[in-house]
Structure 1
């Protein structure tokens, strides 16, 4: 089930939680989360953020709506990257982000959303 985050505080709290958890369990993506989230949330077509909710707790998988398109960001444990998928958690992987992703490449991928 997905929970729609409606307020800036809800969004900020979620991003802070994801960064904190990444610092402990996924250090290879911890530094890219903030610039990635800022770029996505700042996209002119951004309209909605939903987060996977399990047993009343928010997980780290999230769906964003940009224009008419829905995208999924989820951590891939085996590859140690944040995957960008089209439409659903089982959609095709469009791009993978980690701490080595340059700012230019990050902007390029977000602009394609």
Structure 2
């Protein structure tokens, strides 16, 4: 756990600063419209001098541009919270975790099985 939080500390600090500035009375990330908040997150990052895009060179494809780790962190936190707080039966979910199906219902799977 320590290695996770130490590695994510810079992004957590940025996210806390953003939430304290823009969403001071927010009780949970799950209460908000994530698309709207993510848009505000990108703007806030740019206004505060943080990168939202990263570019790298690829021999085959040339320059590739993608979202920076800071830019994707809010969505990652939201999706993780959503998954952790989803109390529905595994069969009722849109995406099944075959490990849970195996544990609860004895559904067999191989290591090549797709896990969402």
- Of Structure 1 and Structure 2, the greater helix share is in 2
Q: Quick check: which has more Rg, 1 or 2?
A: 2
- Structure 1 length as normaliser, TM-score? 0.29
- Structure 2 length as normaliser, TM-score? 0.28
- Of Structure 1 and Structure 2, the greater strand share is in 1
User: Higher relative contact order at CA 8 Å, sep ≥6: structure 1 or structure 2?
Assistant: 1
